[in-house]
Amino acid sequence: MPLKHRHKVAVIGIGAVGSAVCYGLVNQGICDDVLLVDVNMTKAIGEAMDLRHSIEYMGRNMKVRACEYSECGDADIAIFCLGTPQALLKRDENGNVMRDSMLEVAIQMVRPAVESLMRSGFNGYIISITNPLDTITQLIWRMSGLPSNRVIGTGTSLDTARLKCILGEIINVDPHSINAYVMGEHGPTEFIPWSIASVGGKSMDSIKADNPQLFENFSYEKILNDVQVAGPKVVNKKGFTNYGIASSVIAIARAILYDECRVIPVSTLLEGYYGFSNVYASVPAIIGGEGVREIIDLHLTKDEMKQFEHSVNAIKEANKTAMSFI
């Protein structure tokens, strides 16, 4: 007797990140079917073929194929990996990408993708990695009509992984043993609530006080800066980032498919939490079969709440700008 349900994940946008996500899904074997959707169908078909050829040496058999949006209606999860083409972005006199330009281009790409996906009858979960992350994820939620707990942005999940990696190297401990988060905007106003950071139940402040030699060259401010410049450093050296963010999005998808009830900092709708409403921002949340099952309301210090408010206000400003492009 065949199984009543096959776990199916659609990956939308098969660029450097999308292809890494697809490979990770196949490599970890977390679903039964992987659907590749891209405006360049020829590339999507080629990626699907290459992935199928790898299955012999993976842990399990899976079905991998390229398809149109119309074939995604019964997918459990749709992962938006739509990147903003550099050629379409406007830059300032210093060559830096103008944030409003990135937002405008992202909306132009995401809007038709969401409309096409929803026309297929899709009623699953959406995970987005498209920047500007928080604003785009909130727009996807509004355009899709899905419940907010089922529209999730990767948010600061990767920033948090980078933070734990840096801290692990400083104090020489497995990053898995570190309890710390980056919160707020996935962007320049993100912050680290050091008051809740710990290792093995010992606060980071205590670790720092008891082991000053470890932190001689690492202030909290420098650590935050190192987290923020990690992505640009990777881009400068290899042209893009893909493995880190792919791992983040796959962890979220796995938590949903297997109801892991895992705590991951994601961009989700805040309605009353931390005193904010009607805004997507990154907070630690319990991710399971319901999507965002519960937001963890941390007891932050007054200074940390000020940083959070500053970050949320930046997101709200971006949200206002986004409305002018719709």
Q: How confident is the model at residue 324 (pLDDT cuts 50, 70, 90)?
A: confident
pLDDT beyond 60 at 3? no
Both 148 and 167 in a single domain? no
What pLDDT is attached to residue 326?
Answer: 73
Looking at the structure, tell me whether residues 77 and 176 fall in a common domain: no
Question: pLDDT digits over 69-124, tens only?
Answer: 999 999 999 999 998 776 566 677 666 666 677 888 899 999 999 999 999 999 99
261-285 pLDDT, tens digit per residue, is 999 999 999 999 999 999 999 999 9
21 pLDDT above the threshold of 70: yes
The pLDDT value recorded for residue 103 is 86
Segments forming the whole domain that contains residue 40? 8-153
What tokens appear for 195 in the block?
């008051």
Dump the DSSP string for 34-101: EEEE-S-HHHHHHHHHHHHHHGGGSSS--EEEE--GGG-TT-SEEEE-PPPPGGG--B-TTSPBPHHH
Which pLDDT does position 194 carry in this prediction?
A: 98
The pLDDT of residue 4 is above 80: no
Instruction: Tell me how far apart the alpha carbons of residues 234 and 275 are, in angstroms, rounded to a whole number.
Output: 35
Residue 247 inside a domain? The answer is: yes
d(CA 21, CA 250): 7
Please give the C-alpha separations between residue 190 and each of 76, 221, 249, in angstroms, as whole numbers: 30, 12, 19
**Would you say residue 179 lies in a domain?**
yes
279 and 161 part of one domain:
yes
Q: Which amino acid is at 126?
A: I
Kindly list the distances between the CA atom of residue 91 and the CA atoms of 81, 87, 101, in Å, as whole numbers in the listed order.
23, 10, 8
pLDDT in tens, 143-188: 999 999 999 999 999 999 999 999 999 999 999 999 999 999 999 9
pLDDT at 231 over 60: yes
Give CA 211 to chain center in angstroms. 33
Are residue 37 and residue 148 in the same domain, yes or no? yes
Which positions are catalytic? 186
Amino acid at 27: N
Supply the CATH number for residue 247's domain.
3.90.110.10
pLDDT at 311: 98
Residue 1 lies in a domain: no
Is residue 3 in some structural domain?
no
Task: Give the residue, 53 or 96, on which the prediction is more confident.
Answer: 53
